[in-house]
Amino acid sequence: MPFTRRTVLKLALFFGAIAGGVTLTRFFNPQRRQVGQTVDKVTAFVDTLLPAFEGTPSASDIGIPAIIMKKYRRNQRFKSMLLRAEPWLDTTAQQRFAENFVDLNEAQRNDIVQLASQAPMRSLPYQLFSQLREESFRFYYSHPEVLTHLESRAPQPQGFLNHSQPPI
């Protein structure tokens, strides 16, 4: 079936309605709103861990927040940790900078991440830091775009036939 201008307009309206519906549902459904806020915080956090820099993508540029939220949905322990730990981000941000975490600038977010990294190992802020660091770094450094920037590649099929020579 050929796509007429009318068909395209109809499709745009249809998908626009769906997208609007999703936004409204999120606004009126507290649980969804909560998830939305979690996504925003996770995105801000992992972009602080992995910012765009010298041509390398940020974590959100290559979809890391979506990967983390997938784990959030599938892993109850991870979800529980995240839900219990994330209020700490806003509380601490408010105490130090009188704003929520997602509204801070990069230097301010780094300050909060620094605090989390120095918290006692069994504390929620440290768990938040170490688990988001582990998850985001794992997926970030196995992304083809990032590997290209690092001049790294998968071990096969070429192998490393120059292994006994100094690296170039």
Partner 1 sequence: MTTQTQFDVVIIGSGAGGGASAWALANKGVKVLVLEAGPHYDPEQDYRLHSPEWELQGFPDKLDKTRRYSFARLQTLDRKYDHLRSWNHISGRAVPGRVRRPGQYSHVQGVGGTTLHFTGEAHRLHPDSMNMKSRFGVGADWPVDYQTLEPYYQQVEEFVGVAGPANQTARVRVNPFPQPVHSLSYASQQLARAGQSIGMRWEPNSLAVLSQAKDTRPGCNYCGQCQRGCPRRDKGSVDVTFLPAAVKSGHCTIRARCQVNRLVADDKKHVTAVEFLNEQGVAETVTGKIVMVACGAIETPRLLLNSRSGTIPDGIGNESRQVGRHFMETLAWSSAGLHAENLGSHRGLPADGICWDFNAPDAIPGGVIGGMRLSTFTLENDFAGPVNYATRVVKGWGVEHKRQMKQQLGHVIAIGAIGESLPHKDSYISLDRRQRDALGRPLAQIHSFLDDMAVQRLAFMAQKSRATLKAMGVKSLIEETSTYDIFHSTHVFGTCRMGLDPTQSVVNDHCQHHHWKNLYIVDASVFPSTGGGEAPSLTIEALALRTAEHIHAQLTS
The binding site for partner 1 (CB under 8 A) comprises 48-51, 53-54, 56, 110, 113, 117, 121-122, 130, 133-134, 137-144, 146-147, 150, 152, 154-167
Find the shortest distance in angstroms from Cβ 6 to partner 1: 43
Find the shortest distance in angstroms from Cβ 14 to partner 1: 35
Secondary structure (3-state) at 9: helix
Q: Which is nearer to partner 1, 34 or 118 (CB)?
A: 118
Q: Which is nearer to partner 1, 35 or 110 (CB)?
A: 110
Find the shortest distance in angstroms from Cβ 49 to partner 1: 4
Find the shortest distance in angstroms from Cβ 79 to partner 1: 21
**Could you give the CA distance from residue 142 to residue 133 in angstroms, rounded to a whole number?**
14
Q: Which is nearer to partner 1, 45 or 72 (CB)?
A: 45
**Could you give the CA distance from residue 122 to residue 108 in angstroms, rounded to a whole number?**
24
- Burial annotation 47-63 (CB, 10 A radius, 16+ → b, else e): bbbbbeeeebbbbbbbe
Find the shortest distance in angstroms from Cβ 1 to partner 1: 38
Secondary structure (3-state) at 4: coil
Q: How is residue 113 written in tokens?
A: 């991440």
Q: Which is nearer to partner 1, 2 or 167 (CB)?
A: 167
**Could you give the CA distance from residue 72 to residue 37 in angstroms, rounded to a whole number?**
13
Are 113 and 49 within 8 A, CB to CB? yes
Q: Which is nearer to partner 1, 4 or 156 (CB)?
A: 156
